[in-house]
A and B are shown apart, each in its own frame.
Chain A
Amino acid sequence: MNDRAVSDLGERVSAARPNVTTLTVYRLPPRLRALVKVSAVALESYADVQVEHIADAATIVSALDAIARSRPRPAHEALDARFGLVFLDAAGERVLSVYKGAFALDGQIDEVLCEYEETALHAWLTQRYGV
């Protein structure tokens, strides 16, 4: 995925939407103190990560809508991941992975770091998880 794909997140979400059947949310517990910034790759291996598997279509659609409304631009600062939203297809393959960091702006889409200009995703996470 390249920088252009980051700015076309809406298109990526549209392309992924018909294939998504489940959403796995990874969340580090609030106030967990990590020795170093947590990368998206490391997030899923954390011992104390909270995992939620969501199959409810309405919830998945609301997450996709929030992501589609989040306008990201490429960034180069390492993410301090707190949330990972991994969308899977019926075969359990990843269709889209979106990560959010400790602060409102930072994030990652698949393997590309980004900074969210509009953070509907942040609002969705706040509403759902009270962060």
Chain B
Amino acid sequence: MPDVSHPYDPLPDAPKDWTLKDALAATKSADGHFHCGQLEFESEKDYKSFTAAQIDLGGSKEQLDTLHYIETTGKPPRMEAMNPPPAGTTVDQLLDLGNQKPDKAGMYHLGSLQVSEKDYAKFAEVQKLACQNPEGLAALYHLEHSADTPPPTFRVTPDNERHDNYDPAKNRINFNPNSAVRDNSNGALLPPVVAVIHEEAHWGSRGAVLDTMSGIPAKPYGEMADRAVIEGAEGREMQRRGLTPRHAHEAQMIPVKGLESTTPSLTMQQDGKEREITPPFQQSGRVIGVKDGIATIAVRGDGTQPEHRMSFKVDQLATAMGQNVEQAEGLLKGAMSHKDTVTFQTTNDGRVVYQNPDQQQRIHDHPVGNIPFPDPMTPPPSAAQQVQAKTPAVEVGGR
């Protein structure tokens, strides 16, 4: 555990006669929810999980202070920056490998921090950006001066693992340089570099306060521990960049090119070649295949170009459409089963507007009840498709 970082504001003392039993006492409301002060649990099982976890922690003073704060305010303690590094510390010093060769496992050792030879270039690139924020510099310094066992590791994930996280069991930060985050609740877009600040904050905030907050729901932020980081280090970095902070943990990973980019990238396969789609782009055609994450569209020849096929990665397309993968796949499969002609049109900021006028016509013709299917063997549309069918065009993700 880093003994040089103090990520949370000092908490006020809980009342002296306030015990763990008081902290775990709950009332049950008419909707079946359990309440411990301002903490709310939607089910008895969630409440029981909470009590079991808190009893396991043993009832230390820090735990009680944290619980008292959360139960009286309904929010996590404010997360502060880690202590700054010694004056004059620069990111170049912290990234300097000297004459170091990777060890037998292919790892470089930057003090206590391990980074593989394969990941080092991208790691250094993103750290130079993250360390423009003094909080980023402090985090990197502490990662390199940690007494942790196992020592911290920074890993760059490949695109088939399009996610970022911190795994305390392995003490490993996983970072995907080609993924931004879109909070669909408020349109906030987080460039990849912000994920580094976020995950490093999770690393630096371990201890009794974090242990106490783990597993306590904090909708829509996920858990209290997530809310502390989203509103803390991540929120400050977003503010520093002049970007809208997100308000929800339920968000979408979107493919981008560039560590500071929030513009979705969309590629397509045409004639066996992959190419980046750049606005303006508009194509209409029939969906003829949705399989293994690839959607294939047949585009009819129109005199200016012959009939041809285009293939899109469904996850990229979903992102650009502002849908999750399952929703987009449902739309595309529905269009395929109906043999609809669909249109994809990019906006100037890289979003994709998807239109299915054939589907609109069916809804117009059959405003109530089930939409008839051409093939009795075709499964009915999913709930997501039915909801989507009420929307004439998908256009999500504006700034």
Contact between B253 and A36 (Cβ–Cβ < 8 Å)?
A: yes
Instruction: Answer yes or no: A102 CB below 8 A from chain B CBs.
Output: yes
A45: chain B residues within 8 A (beta carbon): 160-163
Whether A36 and B251, one on each chain, are in contact in the complex, defined by CB atoms closer than 8 angstroms, is yes
B340 at the interface (CB under 8 A from A): no
Given the known inter-chain contacts A35-B163, A103-B42, A112-B383, please indicate yes or no for A48 contacting B170, CB distance below 8 A.
Answer: yes
What 1/0 flags go to A23-46 for Cβ under 8 Å of B? 000000111111111110110011
- The answer to the question of B164 belonging to the interface, with a C-beta cut-off of 8 Å to chain A, is yes
Which residues from A are CB-within-8-Å of B225?
A: 33
Number of interface residues of A (CB under 8 A): 34
Mark interface residues in B362-393 (1 if CB within 8 Å of A CB, else 0).
00000000000000000110110000000000
Q: Is A71 an interface residue (CB 8 A)?
A: no
Given known A-B contacts A46-B161, A47-B157, A30 and B253 have beta carbons under 8 A apart: no
What residues on A are CB-neighbors of B160 within 8 Å? 45
Could you tell me if B324 and A39 are in contact, using CB atoms closer than 8 angstroms? yes
| A35 & B46 in contact (Cβ 8 Å cutoff) | no
CA distance A11 to B46 in the complex (A): 27
A46 touching B165 by the CB < 8 A rule? yes
Contacts A29-B167, A32-B168, A104-B45: A48 and B324 contacting too (C-beta < 8 A)?
no
Evaluate contact between B249 and A36: CB separation under 8 angstroms: yes
Q: Quick check: A41 and B326 within 8 Å, CB to CB?
A: yes
The distance from the CB of A77 to the nearest CB of chain B, in whole angstroms, is 8
Q: Which of A72-131 contact B (CB under 8 A)?
A: 74, 76-78, 80, 102-105, 111-112, 119, 122, 131
Is A2 a contact of B382 with CB atoms below 8 Å? yes
Q: Does residue A1 face the partner (Cβ distance < 8 Å to B)?
A: yes
Interface presence of B43 (CB below 8 A): yes
Contact (Cβ within 8 A) B199 A37? no
How many angstroms between the C-alpha atoms of A19 and B250 in the bound complex? 35
Chain A's closest residue to B293 (CB) is A41
**In the bound complex, CA of A102 to CA of B229 (Å):** 18
**Please, which residues of chain B bring their CB within 8 A of the CB of A29?**
167-170
Q: Is B42 a contact of A35 with CB atoms below 8 Å?
A: no
- Identify B199's interface contact among A1, A35, A39, A41, CB under 8 A: A35
Which residues of A sit under 8 angstroms from B226, Cβ to Cβ? 33
| Smallest beta-carbon distance A46→chain B, Å | 6
CB of B50 to closest CB in A, whole Å: 10
Across the two chains, which residue of chain A brings its CB closest to B387? A76
Cα separation A104 to B161 with both chains bound (whole Å): 26
B162 smallest CB distance to A (angstroms): 7
User: Within 8 Å of chain B (Cβ to Cβ): is A3?
Assistant: yes
| Complex contact B251–A33 (CB within 8 A) | no
Residues of A within 8 A of B251 (CB): 35-37
Q: A78 → chain B, closest Cβ, in Å?
A: 5
Contact between B164 and A34, CB atoms less than 8 A apart: yes
Shortest beta-carbon distance from A116 to chain B in Å = 9
- B314 to chain A minimum Cβ distance, whole angstroms, is 10
Point out the residue from B199, B223, B252, B382 that lies within 8 Å of A102, measured CB to CB: B223
B351, CB-defined interface residue at 8 Å = no
Task: Check B250–A33 contact: CB distance below 8 A.
Answer: no
Distance between Cα atoms of A126 and B253 in the complex (Å): 30
User: In the complex, A36 Cα to B249 Cα: how many Å?
Assistant: 5
Chain B residue at smallest Cβ distance from A3: B383
Q: B161-184 interface mask toward A, CB cutoff 8 Å, 1 = contact, 0 = none?
A: 111111111101010000001000
The CA of A103 and the CA of B325, in the complex, are separated in Å by: 23
Contacts of A46 in B (CB 8 A): 161, 163, 165
* Residue B357 is within 8 A (CB to CB) of chain A in the complex: no
State how many angstroms separate the Cβ of A47 from the closest Cβ of chain B: 5
1/0 per position for A59-81, CB-CB distance to B under 8 A? 00000000000000010111010
A–B complex contacts, Cβ < 8 Å, 28 sampled: A29-B169, A30-B169, A31-B168, A31-B214, A33-B165, A33-B202, A33-B225, A33-B226, A34-B163, A35-B199, A36-B163, A36-B250, A36-B252, A37-B222, A39-B326, A45-B160, A47-B155, A47-B174, A48-B172, A78-B250, A78-B324, A80-B249, A80-B250, A102-B215, A104-B43, A104-B46, A105-B45, A112-B382
Interface residues of A (CB under 8 A from B): 1-3, 29-39, 41-42, 45-48, 74, 76-78, 80, 102-105, 111-112, 119, 122, 131
Q: Which 4 A-B pairs have the closest CB atoms?
A: A104-B45, A35-B164, A33-B202, A36-B251
